[in-house]
Chains A and B, each alone.
Chain A
Amino acid sequence: MTDGTPGTVNRVRYRSRLHQTESERKAETHPLTWRLKDTGERVDLADYEAKNGYTVVKTALNGQSPDDVIESLKTANLRGRGGAGFSAGLKWSLTLRGEGYPRGYLVCNADEMEPGTFKDRLLMEQQPHLLIEGMILGAYANNSKLGYIFLRGEYIEAAQSIQQALEEARQAGWLGDNIAGSGFDFDIVLHTGAGRYICGEETALINSLEGKRANPRAKPPFPGQSGAWGKPTVVNNVETLCNVPAILEHGADWYLNLSGDRSSDGGTKLFGVSGRAEKNGLWELPMGTTGAEILDRAGGIRNGAKLKAWLPGGGSTGLLLPEHLDLPLDFDSIGNAGSRLGTGLLTVVTEEQSIVGLLRNLEEFFARESCGWCTPCRDGLPWSVKLLRALEKGEGEEGDIEILEMLARDLGPGKTFCAHAPGAAMPLESALTFFREEFEAGVGRKKGPAGVETVPLGEV
């Protein structure tokens, strides 16, 4: 024992924090979290079934066609919660299925590694049956013969929780042959990863699932045409799939109305706050809830400090300013402001924190996590790190900012093999736009003579 207080281990053990109690969370308004327990214990099969769980599997598989299911999702305007915001219904409508096509795979992207994102963990640790139910419905709509949950290796508790739930679901006949007497067969395999952020890119994820290096694949063909082992494959984020059961149970119009006038995107979203807010954590709120309301729920910035900037949904989204807090948080509104909703979990930056330092940290992450497949990403990101490290130390040269601007532009959408580098470019571009003076303050000297390495590259 040193100066740690008694019970340190228990005190600092990580637990997901959903800041809404059972009494606040209702089936009609909180489709993702209403079954969760205040204690944080896993909702097991008995609990889940007691709260209407799996009923929609029975009704949908026996009463609706796959096309009906897809149509409901389209009408509900459920947009991909992994961050890209693509219409889930549209994605499913593009999957090759039917006469002459082999039954393929439904893959749940549970590789949650976007900096600042901690939402899927909650759903998987505490309520794996909702995900399983969503996957069964997704498999039915896409004619998938097998599902994979691609879970990041570090999510130990989620792995245990999912594994238990899979066994319970098989025992109860929710997985396996002839589910709910419908004649539909489907099962799920839990696959745990071995690290690397790039596995979250859907085609890299498929390569990883096939036991290969997680380099992204060229598109087209899209996974829905030719994915895992050349079969039609649908990849959806955990939270996206968890929205499906309630849409089918209560209807697309009900789901659209959850967000009401706030947004044209349907439903609710797990929003959250991290960084130096008073009360970090998660809330399930309607799409289109403003950043101001969420930050208010988080009690504002710690110790009365001022907000300087915020990332709306992870490290690959553009920085926004306090004035943007009144925007509805949905894919179009945040997109129109020049950023992306991403995963919808806010990272707050306070007045005294360095934007150059934050960008250095972010670009170090993206440089390290580049898979190295295409040159702009592999070489451009370490270059940005070198410049940012110099600027942070006040050792930048004249011209460095212009090079960073060039990198932000040339690593943007369409210039690289996948979305990794554009994700790195977005926060950089926004930082250079909104906080240029902080970068300028780091320029400490005239441009050095050609060929002279003024700042060691170091290890990136």
Chain B
Amino acid sequence: MSEQADKTLATDGFELHPDDRAAIQAELGHFEQPQAACIEALKIVQRRHGWVPDAAIPAIARELGVGPAAVEGVATFYSLIFRQPVGRHVILVCDSSSCYLTDYEMLRDALFDHLGIQYGQTTPDNRFTLLPVCCLGACDSGPAMMIDDDTYGPVAPKDLAELLEGYS
């Protein structure tokens, strides 16, 4: 193996947590081929670290016995796999048509104002990361958004302060 290739496989001392390795191994049993556990493996690592650091890619690849490019390709495709550090809480704001028709843009601008950040950014206190998301399937209650695992809608700008207060 060339020195270059060796570098791309460097895990920079990143080790999968033993519990995560066990969880990934358990996933393997659900599929015909180990590559299939790739997305779940990325999610397992993300649950522990909040995001998926570059060094985790070759570590996951080794665990699954697949090439790092396969894992990297997947990790950069899916919108819920985070490749940069995120805040303690992730806000997903539905920007699709039904919410658009029920004042999504007002909610979005209110969030920008309230948090002082734009999409793709994290508040300086590391509390919130703000991202747009595909139709959340809460169209009858638009505009809708999620904070971590919780779905809310309709959310009026005046509700934001109290709503966000619950996530410290």
Q: Which residues of A contact B (CB under 8 A)?
A: 1-4, 8-9, 11-14, 17, 112-118, 120-121, 152-157, 189, 191-197, 208-214, 228-229, 231, 272-276, 280-282, 311, 315, 345, 347-350, 353, 357-358, 361-362, 364-365, 369, 371
A274 in contact with B32 (CB, 8 Å) = no
A196 in contact with B79 (CB, 8 Å) = yes
**What is the count of residue pairs linking A and B with beta-carbon distances less than 8 angstroms?**
187
Chain B residues near A114: list those with CB within 8 A.
Answer: 135
Chain B residues near A212: list those with CB within 8 A.
Answer: 35, 38, 70, 73-74
Which listed segment binds A: B8-16, B89-97, B121-129? B89-97
- What is the bound-complex CA distance between A22 and B37, given in angstroms? 41
A196 in contact with B77 (CB, 8 Å) = yes
Chain A residues near B144: list those with CB within 8 A.
Answer: 14
B7, CB-defined interface residue at 8 Å: no
B92 in contact with A154 (CB, 8 Å) = yes
- What is the bound-complex CA distance between A359 and B119, given in angstroms? 21
CB B137 to nearest CB in A, in angstroms, measures 4
Chain A residues near B158: list those with CB within 8 A.
Answer: 2-4
On whether A194 and B39 interact (CB within 8 A), knowing A14-B152, A112-B137, the answer reads yes
Residue of B nearest to A13 (CB): B152
On whether A196 and B153 interact (CB within 8 A), knowing A211-B37, A211-B38, the answer reads no
- What is the bound-complex CA distance between A358 and B101, given in angstroms? 8
Chain B residues near A275: list those with CB within 8 A.
Answer: 98, 101-102, 142
Chain A residues near B101: list those with CB within 8 A.
Answer: 274-276, 347-350, 353, 358
- What is the bound-complex CA distance between A9 and B153, given in angstroms? 10
Chain A residues near B140: list those with CB within 8 A.
Answer: 17, 118, 272-274, 280-282
- What is the bound-complex CA distance between A311 and B96, given in angstroms? 13
- What is the bound-complex CA distance between A113 and B94, given in angstroms? 11
CB B86 to nearest CB in A, in angstroms, measures 14
A2 in contact with B162 (CB, 8 Å) = yes
- What is the bound-complex CA distance between A456 and B133, given in angstroms? 24
Chain A residues near B98: list those with CB within 8 A.
Answer: 115-116, 274-275, 347
- What is the bound-complex CA distance between A115 and B149, given in angstroms? 20
Contacts A211-B33, A211-B35 known; 15 new A-B pairs at CB < 8 A = A1-B161, A9-B163, A12-B163, A118-B138, A154-B146, A193-B78, A194-B42, A210-B35, A211-B31, A213-B73, A229-B32, A229-B33, A358-B100, A361-B97, A371-B77
Chain A residues near B35: list those with CB within 8 A.
Answer: 210-212
On whether A315 and B74 interact (CB within 8 A), knowing A210-B33, A274-B140, A276-B102, the answer reads no
On whether A365 and B134 interact (CB within 8 A), knowing A213-B77, A275-B98, the answer reads yes
- What is the bound-complex CA distance between A350 and B103, given in angstroms? 13
- What is the bound-complex CA distance between A311 and B162, given in angstroms? 34
- What is the bound-complex CA distance between A408 and B144, given in angstroms? 29
On whether A315 and B135 interact (CB within 8 A), knowing A195-B79, A208-B39, A358-B97, the answer reads yes
CB A196 to nearest CB in B, in angstroms, measures 6
Of the A-B pairs whose beta carbons lie under 8 Å apart in the complex, a sample of 10, sorted by A's number, is A3-B158, A11-B159, A115-B98, A115-B135, A116-B97, A118-B138, A157-B151, A194-B43, A195-B133, A371-B77
The residue that B139 contacts in the complex, of A13, A117, A362, with Cβ under 8 A, is: A117
- What is the bound-complex CA distance between A361 and B134, given in angstroms? 12
The residue that A154 contacts in the complex, of B38, B74, B133, B141, with Cβ under 8 A, is: B133
On whether A194 and B149 interact (CB within 8 A), knowing A117-B137, A315-B96, A361-B97, the answer reads no
The residue that A191 contacts in the complex, of B30, B102, B141, B165, with Cβ under 8 A, is: B30
The residue that A12 contacts in the complex, of B79, B133, B155, with Cβ under 8 A, is: B155
Residue of B nearest to A302 (CB): B102
A4 in contact with B139 (CB, 8 Å) = no
B134 in contact with A12 (CB, 8 Å) = no
- What is the bound-complex CA distance between A353 and B98, given in angstroms? 12
Residue of A nearest to B140 (CB): A280
- What is the bound-complex CA distance between A24 and B151, given in angstroms? 28
B154, CB-defined interface residue at 8 Å: yes
Complex interface bits, B102-127 against A, C-beta within 8 A gives 1, otherwise 0? 10000000000000000000000000
CB B84 to nearest CB in A, in angstroms, measures 15
On whether A4 and B42 interact (CB within 8 A), knowing A197-B134, A349-B101, A362-B97, the answer reads no
B55, CB-defined interface residue at 8 Å: no
B31 in contact with A153 (CB, 8 Å) = no
Residue of A nearest to B153 (CB): A14
Interface centre among A120, A194, A353, A369 (most CB of B within 10 A): A194
On whether A347 and B139 interact (CB within 8 A), knowing A12-B154, A14-B153, A195-B78, the answer reads yes
- What is the bound-complex CA distance between A12 and B80, given in angstroms? 24
B161 in contact with A4 (CB, 8 Å) = yes
Residue of A nearest to B152 (CB): A12
